[in-house]
Structure 1
Amino acid sequence: MRKLIFIFIFLIWSNNSYSEEITIYVVSGKQSGLRLSCRDIKFAYLKEKIFSNNIKIIPVNLPANNKLRKLFNRYVLKMDEDELSIYWNQRYYEGITPPLVLKSEKAMRNFLKSVKGSIGYLTKEYLDKSLKILCIIRAKR
């Protein structure tokens, strides 16, 4: 019986540590002039919304196996990689390609600073004064 109680307590503890909350910041360069709501961001990433304040929106992603991207897909786009793959295969025939993929948050931050109209998502440690926060998403890992 004690063994069973120990296992039960361990499972509860490990489940709680797994569901740690992470904050995702959707950002653009400070001087971008973009005004997007959290809802607009979803449509910008799906390339259904192309402009904001007459500025072309350029969404950028992290690699498909990146944990932050997976959380962004789940909490913002409300899709997993399989659903996104199907979506982009359909859009390809309309001449529309998925967002550019950058290799790291550091690369994304640098891109956002230098390319007008670009939007991306970062964790707090990669934010700085040159970025404008458009939307904050609290997600469970």
Structure 2
Amino acid sequence: MKRYSLLLLLALLGMTPSASSFAVEDEIVIVVNQTNPARAASRDTLRPIFQTTRTEWSGRSVMPVNLPEDSPLRKRFDMAVLGLDPDGVARYWIDRKIRGGERPPRKVASPNAVLRAVGEEAGGIGYILASDVNPTVKVIARIRDGQVLPP
């Protein structure tokens, strides 16, 4: 109802909204290699994997894959899974480096590179838009409205 009221108000004011002003953000999905036996993962499972405090999962070494820090998709993922904004993520990795912790996840340039890396590595895990999923990966979780949900 609110949306129609807003549209009516805009029409009365002689303004027309662009198509993108009401577009819904595409859902983020967390994907693993097809050979991974996992069927689902919660935020509590994903967080230590992407903070590299958990290096094994489903009986194998895990290889998390991240997009660049300035990627809008990465920012949404980090807020939902890690509970950190870009500055918080940067501080986390600086602290880990100082303390001698594990290295950050492998960084790749694009969602296509995430698909390639996860599809080729048995322990690969990454995130992409739902619209980018292909047969080389399996969805184990979704991020919708900032919440990690089952596939």
* TM-score, with length taken from structure 2: 0.76
The whole-number CA distance in structure 2 between the counterparts of 1:18 and 1:47 is 37
Match of 1:25 in 2: 29
Change beyond 3 A, Cα 1:98–1:129: same
Q: Which amino acid aligns with 2:111?
A: E
Which of 95, 116, 121 is residue 115 of structure 1 equivalent to? 121
Which has the higher relative contact order, 1 or 2, with Cα contacts under 8 A spaced 6 or more apart? 1
The whole-number CA distance in structure 1 between the counterparts of 2:115 and 2:130 is 11
Kindly indicate whether the alpha-carbon contact (under 8 Å) linking 1:32 and 1:117 is maintained by their aligned counterparts in 2: yes
In structure 2, the gaps of 5 or more residues are 1-8, 147-151
Which of 91, 95, 107 is residue 96 of structure 2 equivalent to? 91
The CA deviation string for residues 63-91 of structure 1, in whole angstroms up to 9 with x for no partner, is 11111001101111110111111111111
Shift of 1:18: 6.6
Match of 2:64 in 1: 59
The whole-number CA distance in structure 2 between the counterparts of 1:138 and 1:99 is 23
Match of 2:77 in 1: 72
Match of 1:131 in 2: 137
Instruction: Provide runs of 4+ in structure 1 moved above 6 Å.
Output: none
Cα RMSD after superposing both structures: 2.7
* Number of residue pairs the alignment of both structures matches: 134
* TM-score, with length taken from structure 1: 0.81
